[in-house]
Chain A
Amino acid sequence: MDSDHYQQMRTVVAAPRLARAIAIGSRFCARAAGMLERLGLAGVTPSAAVDRQLLEARAGEEARELDQAGLFLCLRCRVSHAAEQKILALVRHFGHRHQLDPIDLAATVLDDGGDPLPWPSVGSSAAAHRPFSLEVIDSYRPELAGLGHWTRLRVQSHPPLVRLLREHGLLLQRDWSLLAHASPGRMARAWEQHGSAALSPAQVATLHQCFRNHYRQARGDRIAAAATWEPGALFLSALDPPTAAPLTLGRLQAMATALRRDRLAALPMAGPEGLEAVAAAAPAEDPSPGVVAEVEAALRRALARQLPAMLAADGPEVALRACLWRHYAKGHSQRRIGEACGCCQPKVNRRLQCAAHASAIATTALGYLIGREGFEAVGRSLAATESQAAALRDYLLASPADGDRPRLAHWLEPLLEPPVSVGPAHDLLCNPHA
C-alpha cells in the first residue's frame, strides 16, 4: 500500500483492523480546535512554546475539567502529528526499496484513537491499552525540547517500530548509539558533508568527544537500559556548560542526522536481497555432462538432509515457514509468496534464508563428492573447494535451460508435505506488536 492509500485511509473512519491506528486529529478536530480557542491558541503554529502553554494549563486547578474538554487531546494530537511526520519520512526515504507499508508503520505509533482516557491519564497504568502518545507525554521533559522534538526521540527507540523495520532490512538506530559509535574522523566528515553552518567543525569535534566520554560513563554496564536511555538536563549541561541544555540536545541530534546521512550515502542503495536477486546471481553454467548425474544426486541427497533445518521454527512460525517454502517450491515470485502466506516481501527472504541454505546444501553435497572425478582437490585446496562449492550453489539456484524455476525449487516440491493450512493474512497488520 502506498502513501496515497494511507492518506485516503487516514481521512476516513478507521477500518476495523486499524481501529487504533489512525492519527487522532482527523477524528476529534472540533474538540481539539475548541480547546485551543479557549486557551487563546487558535490558529497558532504548533511549537515548543505552545506545548509548554498546554502543559502549564494542565498543571492548574482546572486541569481535570480542561482535560475532559480536550486539552489532553490537543497534546495527544501533537504527539501523533509529529509521529506521523516521522513515519512519512521513513516511507519517503525507504518505502519503495524496502517495501514499507505506511499503514503497517502507522499502526506501531499512531495507535491513539482519541477516545477519552481515564483521568488522570498521565502515569496511569490501569488502562489495558496504553497508546504510544501517552508514553511520549509521560516521559516528556519540557525543559529539554518541544513535544514534537521529544516525540521523534521516542519514535526512534519504539520497540514495535524497531522490530517492524528490522523485518524490512532497516535499522532504526538511536541518535545516542550512532554518536557513541562514530569515530572522530567519521563525525568530522559527516558534518562537513551533511551538517550546517550553525556549528563549526571544531565545535562539533569538541561536543562529540565530550558526548562519547559522558555517554560511556552514563551508560556504564547497563546496556540493556540503553535502549530507552535519553539524556537529561544534567547530562547535557555537563557536555557544554555555557550552552542551554535544549540547544545542546538539538546540536547532538543534528550531528546524529549528519552521521545517518553520511552512512546512507556510503551504503549501496540496493534494497534487501530478494529471492529473484539470489536466483539471478547464479550463472547457469552446468557441470560437464559426465558428472551431472552425480552432482544432481549429491545435491538432492544434501537437500533432503537440509530440509528439517529449512522448516524448523517455533510457534506460529512453523506454519508460516512451511507455507513460504511450499510456494517457493512452486516457483512463485517473492511478491506472490508474500501475498499467499500473508507476510511482507522482505520478510519472505529473511525467513527463507534461501542463499544460506543453498550454500549449506552445496557444501554438504560437495562432501559427498570428495575424491570423485573432477572433485579430487576438494578438501585439500581452499581455492578449489571454494570454487566447487560456489559452482554447486549456483547450479542449485539456477533454472535449467528448459525449466521455469530454480532446481532447488523443483527438487524441493516433492519433499514437502501436503499444504499446511495457514489462516488469513496474519502478519503485523493484525498484530502490530507481534
Chain B
Amino acid sequence: MPDPFDEDADDPLALPLPPHTLWLDEPESAGLPRDHPSLALHALRQQRAELGLDLRLRENSGDSFQLEGFRVQLVCAPFWSEELAVPPQPWRLGARSPHLLLGAWVDEEAGVVRLPGVLTAAELRQRCPDLAHADAPCPLPLAAFRGGLDRLWLLGRLLTPEALLPSEPAVAPVRLRDWLEGMLGEALVALGAELLPASAGAFRSPAAPVGLVSGLPTALATVAIPLALALGRIETGPARRAASERFRLLLQLCGAMEGSQWLELRLEPELAGDLLPQRLTLQVDDLAIDTGGDGSSGPLCLTVPVGEDPIVISLCHADGSRLVLPSLHFGATMGEPEPGSAG
C-alpha cells in the first residue's frame, strides 16, 4: 500500500528570503551566540561594519541597547512570525523609557535576521496607545515597522532624542480677546479647557502665591485647563481621568479694558490643600518656575505682560513629558475693533 506521505515531488524545498533579511557571517560557527537578541545585535554590528558606519552601539542588559544618544528596545520574534509582542514594562519608565523600538525576526538555526525597521516611541504610542498601562504585551504586525536598518542608521547619525519630542502644535494662535466674548478657541477646548466666570475668584487665595505680582487683579476672563501626571506623562482631556496626581492650570487675563493688561498663570492642585507633583516646570517664554523635588510644592505662579508678541506657555516634567499650549495673543488693542470686523 503506498504511503500517502512518502514523497512530494513538488515540494518547493526553499523559500525566498524576505526583504531586509541579513545573513549572519559563518552561521554554523559554534562561537556565535544563539539567543535571539544577541543574534539581532550581531547582525546589526555586522551591517554597521560592512557599511563602515562610525556609530557607537553599546549593549545594555536585557533586550536593549544604546545607539549614540538613543535608547533602543529590541523585540524579537521567530523568523516567519507575522507579528511580535512588545512588552509594556520598558515603556513605563517615563523619561527612562526607550526612544526607539527595533523589531527583529530571527531564525537562529539558519542564521538569518530580518530587520524591517524601527518605530519611534511616538509611533509606537499611536499603534499601542495603552501600552504603558497594559498588563499584557502589545501585538505589533511586521508591517508596522518601516525603513529597514537605514532608518536606524539615519536616526543615529543625524538626529538626537530631543528631535523626536512632539513638536509644538501647529495650530492657529488663540486670541485672548475672544475670551472676553465667551469664546475659548478650538485648540484650548481640545485640551479640555473651560472658561470660568470672571467672578469665580480663582486667584483670591488667602496666601499670596509665589511669583504673583498682582495684589488684587482685575480678572477680565479666567480659563482653567485640567491636567494630570500619569507615569511621568502630562495628560490632558479624558486621558487624565485614571491618574491620581491631578492639577490644573489657570490662565487669567487681568487689567483694565482700556489700559495695560497682563496674563497671570497659576498651576495648582485640583484639590485644595493638596500638593503639586514634583519636578514640574512651568515656562512662559523665557520665564520658568518649578516645583522642585522636595515634596512640598504649593501652587506655581507667573505673570507676563500682554503685548504684540505671542505668548508661549509650556509645562514639562523631569521625566521628559512636555505639554506646549497653543500660543496666545491678544488679537487687537483692547476696545478697538479689528479691521474688517462689523460694527
Contact = CB atoms under 8 A, between A and B. Distances in A.
Contact of B107 (A48, A93, A177, A363): A177
Given A171-B110, A312-B52, A382-B164, A183 B81 contact: yes
A385 interface: yes
A379 interface: yes
Contacts of A234: none
A263 B154 contact: no
A381 B163 contact: yes
A93 B13 contact: yes
- The A interface is mostly helix, strand or loop, or mixed, namely helix
Given A48-B6, A181-B80, A182-B80, A385 B154 contact: yes
B142 to A, nearest CB: 11
Nearest to A47: B6
Interface of B: 3-19, 23, 28-30, 32, 34, 47, 50-53, 78-82, 107-110, 112, 120, 147, 149-151, 153-155, 157-160, 163-164, 167
Contacts of B13: 86, 89-90, 93, 155-156, 172, 260
Contact of B153 (A98, A227, A363): A363
Contacts of A177: 107, 109-110
A257 B149 CA distance: 32
A94 B10 CA distance: 12
19 contacts: A89-B13, A94-B14, A171-B17, A171-B107, A171-B110, A221-B34, A223-B108, A223-B109, A224-B34, A253-B5, A254-B5, A257-B11, A260-B11, A260-B13, A306-B51, A356-B47, A360-B153, A363-B153, A382-B164
The 3 closest A-B CB pairs, nearest first, are A309-B52, A250-B5, A198-B4
Contacts of A382: 120, 155, 159, 163-164
Contacts of A357: 51
Contacts of B109: 174, 177, 223, 226-227
A367 B7 contact: no
A357 B51 CA distance: 6
A380 interface: yes
A210 to B, nearest CB: 16
A224 B34 CA distance: 8
A254 B9 CA distance: 11
Interface in A267-289: 267, 271-273
Interface residues of A, number: 75
Nearest to B51: A360
B268 to A, nearest CB: 34
Contacts of A172: 13-14
- The B interface is mostly helix, strand or loop, or mixed, namely loop
A101 to B, nearest CB: 15
Contacts of B147: 386
Contact of A309 (B14, B17, B50, B164): B50
A166 interface: yes
Given A181-B79, A250-B3, A382-B120, A173 B52 contact: no
A170 B14 contact: yes
B83 to A, nearest CB: 10
Contacts of B34: 221, 223-224
B338 to A, nearest CB: 32
A263 B80 contact: yes
A27 interface: no
A114 interface: no
A263 B80 CA distance: 8
Nearest to B163: A380
A198 B107 contact: no
Contacts of A257: 8, 11-12
A89 B7 contact: no
Contacts of A90: 12-14
Nearest to B81: A183
B115 to A, nearest CB: 12
A364 B150 CA distance: 12
B155 A263 contact: no
Given A186-B80, A227-B109, A357-B51, A171 B14 contact: yes
A172 B11 CA distance: 12
Contact of B5 (A159, A166, A183, A251): A251
A431 interface: no
B15 A170 contact: yes
A356 B15 contact: no
Given A89-B13, A94-B14, 17 more contacts: A85-B9, A86-B13, A89-B9, A152-B7, A152-B11, A166-B17, A170-B16, A171-B17, A181-B78, A247-B5, A272-B17, A359-B154, A367-B158, A379-B159, A380-B163, A381-B167, A386-B147
Which of B8, B30, B32, B149 has its CB near the most chain A CB atoms (within 10 A)? B8
A169 to B, nearest CB: 5
Nearest to B157: A363
Nearest to A198: B4
A12 interface: no
Nearest to B164: A382
Given A94-B16, A260-B12, A378 B158 contact: yes
Given A198-B5, A254-B5, A363-B153, A356 B17 contact: no
